């Protein structure tokens, strides 16, 4: 918790995604992992050289994908100012990609920034899946902060990384 | 060789990328792998709901990425009508992504369709790297068909897959 609070001072104004991008650059430079932001899909309707017009398409990808120690890795970075994480922050498409990659043994999770608590959590796919199934069957539509506290791994600043989420993976 | 010739009849007019997309859909449905086309990066300059204007950015990604048996996989699909594969078909950005992923133990290659011969090859990253270094040092700027014949794996139609490149990986 302290870590994120410190960080928000050190990187005033930096968005959560930007902090994740910074970690990714550092991981890549250190030769640890190569994880990149996946471009927003755009259906191009008009193209003149590099200039284009088009429309944003339904995301068939999650925010980040890459390689870590040979393994495929995929995750979404989400932010909420609520006291729980509303599952409708994640589209059905995104959930199904994560599910499909998890089935093929990729490293799959969400990074959730809970602004109200100044905390960031790595939410393993299995925990997300359990909550998703509950919601699908008419139950609770969000993941409580207590679940993050008890079943997820808090991501902290460490070794010069502002959001050292790969360290949380090893925990 | 026969395989691709047959295929070009069966899928008249289908572009090479489309054939790769078809294989990917089939791999995903069979639960074998989840490999997807990475969207073209667009820098959005104007946005009105889903409608956008922008410009295409330098590709920081390769064409395809995904997961196969837990491992990260990344490749580009290239087509040439020449009798050799010109290395300038691949941008420096794309090469460096492949190199970085290879260093982190991902499965990395090019799929090269040589239209003149009606053949498709899986070009392992190591073979590409050797040729890239030669070109960088002022040598030959393309990969000869003989190199494909001798050091690459031919991709054939098999088990209902038109371009069964994962099978070539196992060879």
Number of H helices, E strands in chain A: 6, 10
Residue B90 to residue B94: CA distance in whole angstroms: 6
Kindly tell me if the per-residue pLDDT of A144 is higher than 90.
yes
Q: Do A104 and B56 touch (CB under 8 A)?
A: no
Residue A14: predicted pLDDT: 64
Interface check for A60 against chain B (CB to CB < 8 A): the answer is: yes
Q: Are B1 and A2 in contact (CB under 8 A)?
A: no
Average pLDDT over residues B108-119: 96
Q: Which residues of A touch B70 (CB under 8 A)?
A: 71-72, 104-106
Q: What is the pLDDT of residue A42?
A: 78
Task: Mean pLDDT check: name the lowest of A28-37, A71-80, B2-11, B33-42.
Answer: B2-11
Q: How far apart are CA A101 and CA A109, in angstroms?
A: 10
CB contact under 8 A, B67 and A106: yes
The pLDDT tens digits of the residues spanning A95-135 come to 999 999 999 999 999 999 999 999 999 999 999 999 999 99
pLDDT of residue B53: 85
Residue A37 half-sphere exposure toward CB, CA atoms < 13 A: 14
Which carries the bigger pLDDT value, residue A49 or residue B145? Answer: B145
Residues of chain B found within 8 Å of residue A51, distances taken between Cβ atoms = 53-55
Instruction: Please give the average per-residue pLDDT across A25-31, as a whole number.
Output: 95
According to DSSP, the residues that pair with A34 across neighbouring strands are: A67
Of A52, A66, A73, the CB nearest to B55: A52
Beta bridge partners of A80: A114
Quote the mean pLDDT of chain B: 89
What is the distance in angstroms between the CA of the first residue and the CA of the last residue of chain B?
Answer: 16
Q: Give the C-alpha separation, B150 to B148, whole Å.
A: 6
Task: List pLDDT tens digits, range B126-138.
Answer: 999 999 999 999 9
pLDDT band at B45 (very low <50, low <70, confident <90, very high): confident
pLDDT at A9: 43
Q: Is the pLDDT of residue A92 over 70?
A: yes
Is the predicted pLDDT of residue A154 greater than 90, yes or no?
A: yes
Residues of B in contact with A105 (CB under 8 A): 67, 69-70
In Å, what is the CA distance from B66 to each residue of A52, A67, A100, A165, B101? 27, 9, 10, 20, 12
Interface A–B counts its CB contacts (< 8 A) at 114
Residue A16 has pLDDT above 90, yes or no: yes
Contact B52 A53 (CB under 8 A): yes
pLDDT at residue B14, as a whole number: 65
Average pLDDT over residues B115-123: 96
What integer pLDDT is reported at residue B129 of this predicted model? 98
Q: How far is B102 from chain A (nearest CA, A)?
A: 8
User: Which residues in chain B are closer than 8 Å to A44, comparing Cβ atoms?
Assistant: 40, 42
In the predicted model, what is the mean pLDDT of residues A147-155? Answer: 96
Least Cα distance to A170 among A112, A113, A128, A107 occurs for A107
Would you call B171 an interface residue with chain A, using a CB distance cutoff of 8 Å?
Answer: no
Predicted-complex ipTM score? 0.84
Distance from CA of A41 to the nearest CA of B (A): 5
Average pLDDT over residues A73-80: 96
Q: Is residue B13's pLDDT more than 90?
A: no
Q: Do B34 and A100 touch (CB under 8 A)?
A: yes
Q: Which residues of A touch B67 (CB under 8 A)?
A: 72, 74, 101, 104-106
pLDDT at B24: 96
Listed range (B6-15, B39-48, B69-78) with the worst mean pLDDT: B6-15
Phi, psi of B10 (to 5 degrees): -65, -30
Tell me which H or E stretch contains B147. Answer: helix B145-151
**3-state SS class at A15:** coil
Percent of chain B clearing pLDDT 70 (strictly above):
91
Query: pLDDT-derived band of residue A59, with 50, 70 and 90 as boundaries?
Result: low
Structure tokens at A48: 């003149």
CA A55 – CA B143 distance, rounded (Å): 38
The answer to whether the Cβ–Cβ distance between A38 and B61 falls below 8 Å is yes
Q: Which of residues 9-48 of B touch A (CB under 8 A)?
A: 28, 31, 33-34, 36, 38-42, 44, 47
Residue A171 contacts B where some CB pair is shorter than 8 Å: no
Nearest CB partner across the interface for A34, out of B38, B71, B104: B104
In sequence order, what are the residues at sequence separation of 6 or more whose Cβ sits closer than 8 angstroms to the Cβ of residue A135? Answer: A87, A141
Give the closest-approach CA distance of A75 to chain B in angstroms.
12
Contact A104 B44 (CB under 8 A): no
Q: What is the pLDDT of residue A155?
A: 96
């Amino acid at each position: 918790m302290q870590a994120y609070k410190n960080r928000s001072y050190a990187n005033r104004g930096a968005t959560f995604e930007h902090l994740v991008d910074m970690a990714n650059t550092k991981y890549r430079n250190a030769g640890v992992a190569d994880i990149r932001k996946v471009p927003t899909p755009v259906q191009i309707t008009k193209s003149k050289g590099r200039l284009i017009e088009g429309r944003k398409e339904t995301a068939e990808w999650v925010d980040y994908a890459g390689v870590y120690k040979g393994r495929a890795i995929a995750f979404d970075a989400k932010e909420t100012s609520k006291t729980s994480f509303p599952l409708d922050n994640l589209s059905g498409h995104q959930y199904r990609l994560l599910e499909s990659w998890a089935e093929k043994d990729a490293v799959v999770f969400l990074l959730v920034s809970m602004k109200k608590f100044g905390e960031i959590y790595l939410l393993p796919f299995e925990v997300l899946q359990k909550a998703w199934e509950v919601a699908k069957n008419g139950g609770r539509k969000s993941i409580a902060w207590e679940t993050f506290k008890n079943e997820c791994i808090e991501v902290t600043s460490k070794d010069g990384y502002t959001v050292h989420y790969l360290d949380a993976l090893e925990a």
